[in-house]
Amino acid sequence: MGTEAKEPLQLKSDVLIIGGGPAGTWAAITAAEQGASTILVDKGYCGTSGATAPSGTAIWYVNPEEQARERAMMSRMDMGGNLAERPWMLRVLDRTYQNMHQIRDWGYPFPIDQTGGPSYISVQGPEYMRLMRKRVQKAGVRILDHSPALELLADSHGVAGAVGMNEQTQQPWRIDAAAVVIATGGCAFLSKALGTNVLTGDGYLMAGEAGAEFSGMEFSTAYAIVPYFSSVTKTALFQYATFYYEDGRVIEGAGSRRGRSIIAKTLLKEPVYACLDLADESLQISMRKAQPNFFLSFDRMKINPFKEKFPVAMRYEGTVRGTGGINIIDETCATKVPGLYAAGDAATRELICGGFTGGGSHNAAWAMSSGYWSGEGAAQFALKQGANRFRRNARGLAELSGVPTQAASSTNRINTEEVVQLVQNEVFPCDRNWFRSEQGLTDSLGRLNQLWYEIKQGVRTVEGSRLGVREVAAMTATARWMYESGLARRETRGMHVRTDYPQRDTAQHYRLLSGGLDQIWVKPNAAPYNSNIEEAAKA
Amino acid sequence: MIEVLSADRCISCNQCVRICPTNVFQEVKNSIPIIARQSDCQTCFMCELYCPVDALYVVPNADSVEKIQEAAVIEDKLLGSYRERVGWGKGRKSTASDDESYLVLFQARAH
């Protein structure tokens, strides 16, 4: 494809945002409002990329009344293994409240609920993200679509921009920036969970190369219930489902929330069917209005999901609906690397979710809140730097890590399809990833570590794509951070299930940090000071 | 996955090429775009929403190609059916304002 034929596009900006989903767009708007020149790059198209754009998403929006907030904060505290932190939850509830009203003022058409006022507890992704793109442009931010970042630039003072490639024109780009926000989402390992195939952990890899730390990577066992054929991962609607064996008997205890593991265990042995037969007719209409493409899929397949039983499957959602991610060290969502910030699913969401998330609601609130703070923080950091901030002679970090940024030409090298298959073999099966054990994790890590070294020797890609190399390296690294963290947590807490340690252990009431590329390390972080006092006291 | 790009309807605006998050389509000089990388399609349906002439059809099967025929899709009035539901396009009103998640989620919590 003659990737070297084109002159690189060279740009400078105070702030570079990598990723154009909710977190990245909020970050871009906020950075620009601070007076920072800002560029946003998206691997796909800002407005359609990522897990939020294709469908309806609940929002963790709670009126600022003490009792309502208290209920909202405590409702999932224990489910999350008491690892969430109250001050962060309150901050996110406040910020989300403000941001949702901001979206209303920008013209988002919120529905009117039974009280006669607007309902702020959900958004329709296509509408929300189309609006966010418009606002990013209106804020004066330059957007580069189809322009994945391949590696960060840095000097001895910290991160200084990124280089990447326009996938459609094959033109390389280099952006020198005084601060960078990673808003690349989580990693769902190309499972086709709705909108997630752009989410391959690219930002984790870049942050890892820069020396950033991760937190909670063991909380990465989210699986969605889907109709067997479908990409539309809307597990919440299965609250209204009954689950059946092939012979029509009801599977006792199976459900979309606490009973999801029963479905997974049954699926390991035999097919499982569902029917949304708990929804009455008026609710059926509401469900259709809440999630148009979930029902579009059934209609096109000529299945009546309220009357007919249909086979279901589990589609892996990885860290997109897990809670682990890049560790942030302060209220501006800074990482430990100067100039590097993280927001949305790329960052850890344990601060508000602990070790469990039910999906959209909290993650969506976190995305818009952390996006806002990271944009503000990155802009303030950038504007404090002197006039020489773009003359830093920064270099690409992949050169130091040894993870390739070019496709290998030798036919002896492994190719991207092979790597994807090998990584998926380790992370997709429920009996390996969801129901974890020391033996299973150790076996997987042996193979994944071997694969990591093979990747470093070079990877062949379709049409010589440079992005493909980075994506498979990122997925492999992510799986290794997940499983090393999972191995270190010798208990069952939040969504992390250890079959060999089925109980919660109060002595392990802490978060787990991790990092490193060739040698991965994991270590306990201090117990969160403000969650469940009782468990903290016992620990 | 994306299976139909109707040559009869396509006006070569290349909007699908621009907005597809996984870069499935390819612009072709002096012609309509093509579905160049079908296996990269993640079945997110976004292209249907952004196509101004309802020339695209995504089969809900995310894992394999069903080889559906354009004639069958037209006969079942499926071209443009998602865009219509979402209320995008000239003279339509976005159905985001009809979102009844507050009823669905409220009942779920009471369950």
Q: Provide, as residue numbers in chain B, all residues whose Cβ is less than 8 Å from the Cβ of A112.
A: 97
pLDDT of residue B105: 84
Give the residue ranges of DSSP H helices in chain B: 15-19, 46-50, 70-75, 81-86, 101-110
φ, ψ at A38 (rounded to 5°): -135, 135
Q: Rounding to the nearest 10 degrees, give the CA dihedral for residues B91, B96, B99, B105.
A: 170
Closest chain A residue to the Cα of B59, Cα to Cα:
A300
Give the residue ranges of DSSP H helices in A210-309: 260-267, 281-290, 292-300
For residue A128, the distance in angstroms to the closest alpha carbon of chain B comes to 9
pLDDT of residue A5: 63
CB A433 within 8 A of CB A316: yes
CB B15 within 8 A of CB B51: yes
- What is the residue range of B77's domain? 2-110
Q: Is A239 on the interface with B (CB under 8 A)?
A: yes
CB A315 within 8 A of CB A224: yes
- Cβ distance A48 to B19 less than 8 Å, yes or no, reads yes
Which of A293, A301, A314, A428 should one mutate to test binding to chain B, selecting the residue with the greatest count of B CBs within 10 A? A293
Neighbours of A184 (CB within 10 A): 37
Neighbours of A117 (CB within 10 A): 9
Q: Is B92 on the interface with A (CB under 8 A)?
A: no
pLDDT digits (tens, 9 = 90+) for A386-402: 888 888 889 999 988 99
pLDDT of residue A411: 86
- Total domains present in chain B: 1
For residue A193, the distance in angstroms to the closest alpha carbon of chain B comes to 8
- Which helix (H) or strand (E) segment holds residue A445: the answer is helix A438-457
Q: How far is the C-alpha of A149 from the C-alpha of A361, rounded, in Å?
A: 28
Q: How far is the C-alpha of A323 from the C-alpha of A218, rounded, in Å?
A: 9
Note which residues in 24-63 of chain A have CB less than 8 A from chain B: 43-45, 47-50, 53-54, 56, 58
Pairing of the two strands A122-124 and A56-58? antiparallel
pLDDT of residue B111: 39
- Which helix (H) or strand (E) segment holds residue A454: the answer is helix A438-457
Closest chain A residue to the Cα of B101, Cα to Cα:
A290
CB A485 within 8 A of CB A512: yes
Query: In Å, what is the CA distance from A488 to each residue of A194, A318, A435, A437, A452?
Result: 31, 18, 15, 11, 20
Closest chain A residue to the Cα of B73, Cα to Cα:
A300
pLDDT of residue A4: 53
Note which residues in 242-281 of chain A have CB less than 8 A from chain B: none
Beta bridge partners of A312: A227, A272
Residue A289's nearest CA partner among B95, B84, B92 is B95
pLDDT of residue A391: 81
pLDDT of residue A390: 81
Q: Is A355 on the interface with B (CB under 8 A)?
A: no
Q: How far is the C-alpha of A40 from the C-alpha of A196, rounded, in Å?
A: 19
Q: Provide, as residue numbers in chain A, all residues whose Cβ is less than 8 Å from the Cβ of B103.
A: 283, 286, 290
Q: Provide, as residue numbers in chain A, all residues whose Cβ is less than 8 Å from the Cβ of B107.
A: 283
- Give the CATH number of the domain where residue B73 resides: 3.30.70.20
CB A403 within 8 A of CB A164: no
Q: How far is the C-alpha of A164 from the C-alpha of A155, rounded, in Å?
A: 18
Q: Which domains does chain A have, with CATH numbers?
A: 222-317 (3.90.700.10), 400-538 (1.20.58.100)
pLDDT (tens digit, 0 to 9) for every residue of chain A, 539 residues total?
444 568 999 999 999 999 999 999 999 999 999 999 999 999 999 999 999 999 999 999 999 999 999 999 998 899 999 999 999 999 999 999 999 999 999 999 999 999 999 999 999 999 999 999 999 999 999 999 999 999 999 999 999 999 999 999 999 999 999 999 999 999 999 999 999 999 999 999 999 999 999 999 999 999 999 999 999 999 989 999 999 999 999 999 998 877 899 999 999 999 999 999 999 999 999 999 999 999 999 999 999 999 999 999 999 999 999 999 999 999 999 999 999 999 999 999 999 999 998 667 999 999 999 999 999 999 999 999 988 888 888 999 998 899 999 999 888 999 999 999 999 999 999 999 999 999 999 999 999 999 999 999 999 998 888 999 999 999 999 999 999 999 999 999 999 999 999 999 999 999 999 999 999 999 999 655 444 545 544 54
Mean pLDDT, rounded, of chain B: 94
φ, ψ at A201 (rounded to 5°): 80, 15
Q: Provide, as residue numbers in chain A, all residues whose Cβ is less than 8 Å from the Cβ of B17.
A: 168
pLDDT of residue A50: 97
The half-sphere exposure of A446 on its side-chain side, counting CA atoms within 13 A, is: 6
Write the CB contacts of A63 (distance below 8 Å, at least 6 apart in sequence). Answer: A69, A97
Q: How far is the C-alpha of A44 from the C-alpha of A147, rounded, in Å?
A: 7
Closest chain A residue to the Cα of B25, Cα to Cα:
A168
Chain-centre distance of CA A51, in angstroms? 8
Q: How far is the C-alpha of B60 from the C-alpha of A298, rounded, in Å?
A: 8
